[in-house]
Structures are given as C-alpha cells and as structure tokens.
Amino acid sequence: METQEGKSKVKVGIPRALHFYRYYPFWKKLLEELDVEIVLSPPTNKKIVEEGVTHGFGELCIPVKIYYGQVLKLIREHPDLDYLFVPRYVAEVKEAYFCPKFISLPDVIKILPGVPKILNFEVNVKEFPIVTSVIELGKELGKTQNQSLKAYREAQNYFDDYHKFLRQGASVNHALRLVQRDIPFKLPKKKSKGDIKFLLLGHAYNIFDTFINLDFQKKLKDQGVKVITIENLPEFIFKEPVIVNPKGGGLRNYWKHEEEIMQSIRYFLTKGRDEIDGVIFLVSFACGPDSLISELIMRDMKVVGLPFLEITMDEHSGEAGLLTRVESFVEMVRRKNKKLEKDAKKRTMIKSV
C-alpha cells in the first residue's frame, strides 16, 4: 500500500489481545492518520493459546499468555512487518496505575524470537501528557509535529464517538467489528431479548475474547439473559473514586481497571440496585489485582442481597463445567425473582384487606 506521496506505507503489526479490546479504535485511527498500514492478528484460537502457554511461564495470567501467542502468530505470518506496536500503559489518570504486566509489556515482548522493531507509545500521565508520546510516535514514523497533532485530534474524536456508541448499548465486539471494517457506528436492528439482566464484570480482554471465555455472553443470551458490561454504563458512574473502608481511615484503589470495576459495583449497590438481577465477574487465574477486589465485591453483594457469581478462567477451562455453573446461577436468580414477586403480591393483598 502507498501513502499520498507515493511511498510505500510502513507496516505495523498489532496483536489482538490485552488492550486491543480497550484501545484499538484509538490506535487504528492514530496510526492510519500517520500513514501506517495496520496488520492485525486473527481472533484467538487453540493454537495461539497453546503457543502462548509454551512461551509464558506457568504463573502468568492467561491474557498475557494469549498476547505472547498472538505476537508469535503475527510475526510468523507477516515476516515483512516494519514494526510491532506494543504500547506501554503505565498511568492514564494521575491517581492509579495499570497492572505491572502492562508496564513491562514492551520489555518482555522484545525478547521473544523474531520480533521486529517495537513501535513505542507510552501512556504515563504521571510523568508527561499523552500528546508528548503521540509526537514521539510521529517522529519515529517520519511525521512532523503538526501532522502528529492532527492525527491525535482525529483519533481522540473517533474514540469519543466510539465510547458514545458503547454507552448507547452497543456491545464492544459489535463496535470493534465496525471499526475494523471502517463502517459508521450503527446499533444492530435486532434488540437483545431476555427476562433478566446481568452485569458482566471483568477486564475487556476477558469479557470480549470469545475463545478464552468460551463465548460466555452467548451462553447467557441463549438462556434469555440480557447482558451489560462496564463499557455500556454512563460516564457519571466513573467520576468519583471508591474509598474502601472509609470508617477505618479509607483506602483508594491503586489499579485503574479495578477502580472501574469497583465504581460500577458501587452504582449497582446503591442507586442502580433495581436495574439488574445479578452480577457475574470473569476473573483470570493468577490475576493479583482481581483477587484483591473480588473479596470486597462478594462481601458487598451479600449485604444488599444481589446474586453474584465469580468465574475463574484459564487455559484449561471446560465448556461443560462452565455451562452447568451458568445454568444453575440463572435458574437461582429466576427463582429468587419469582419469590420476590410473590411476596410483593402477598403484601399488597394484605394491605388491601
């Protein structure tokens, strides 16, 4: 492919894993505005997982192992890549960090065999604004400061539109498909149906990688459950920090993703209590940050009586076991709702006697 000036475009590979599920629309717009040709790795499959597991040491969480597998697949199938895009996400807000796995990602990936030059993009607002990284990225790609600033504005506007679309109820997988095909954002005509509604909690790479979560959302939808995720929630929910144990001095969450999960939960434990029937938290095996907050969430759920299910995923997760757990949870929630309805009817009858 050629640029407007007739030069051949720089080819950059992007692994479909980890922050792909969160930032891809921004990266795509930014890189394309900088005249880059993007090569995306395919959706996760068994071989990719197996290869990632072989290269990642045992105690590593499955999303990072998948990242390894996606990188290896990409560089084997595209030996002509000029760069591999491996951004370093340190801090996106001043008050919280990303998990250390994101902070060290470019350093661990560059030692894999056959990896081309890493295209750097560091997000660390504790040290410098994002625009500084955009200008550096542009410089590496031979662009002027003005060209990079224009690309940044375009990417930010597109990313804002993407988030508005998700807040209208679009699923991340649907929205990402439109992004990949350069199709304008449009909600599907078919509305999701169901008599109960769950909040599906977790990191985007756990919730939207349909291979590793065994197409979890489809399992819920097949059983008549409507699903919402953090990405569909209104912005105001994420404005105020969550203070853990406020009476005992108060602690703020240190991790960015976990803070968002806690903010969503706080909303549904209070004002939004009647908007959902239950919560499912998909957790990766060996995830330190998730294991810290899941205890807190479970405790709060018990207090308000909101049904809660935690599912831990790894490379050995089995279809049958997962389906049984989901079916029994859905059944339990339906029975609970029926009982609540019956009790409410009884109370109305007693009042009217």
Binding site for ligand SF4 (CB under 6 A): 61, 63-64, 99, 101, 203, 284, 287-290
Strand-pair partners of 308: 279
Report CA-CA distances (Å) from 52 to 41, 49, 83: 14, 5, 20
Q: Could you tell me the sign of the dihedral formed by the alpha carbons of 217, 218, 221, 225, in that order?
A: negative
Minimum Å gap between C-beta 28 and ligand SF4 is 22
3-class DSSP state of 10: strand
Minimum Å gap between C-beta 123 and ligand SF4 is 15
Strand-pair partners of 81: none
CB-wise, 71 or 81, nearer to ligand SF4?
A: 71
CB-wise, 36 or 99, nearer to ligand SF4?
A: 99
Minimum Å gap between C-beta 291 and ligand SF4 is 9
Minimum Å gap between C-beta 237 and ligand SF4 is 20
**Cα–Cα distance, 240 to 5 (Å, whole number):** 48
CB-wise, 33 or 290, nearer to ligand SF4?
A: 290
Report CA-CA distances (Å) from 89 to 141, 255, 282, 285: 20, 12, 22, 22
CB-wise, 29 or 257, nearer to ligand SF4?
A: 257
CB-wise, 234 or 288, nearer to ligand SF4?
A: 288
Minimum Å gap between C-beta 105 and ligand SF4 is 9
CB-wise, 32 or 290, nearer to ligand SF4?
A: 290
**Residue spans of beta strands (DSSP E) within the chain:** 10-14, 36-40, 83-85, 88-91, 117-119, 122-124, 196-201, 225-229, 243-244, 251-252, 278-284, 308-313
Strand-pair partners of 119: 85
Minimum Å gap between C-beta 257 and ligand SF4 is 6
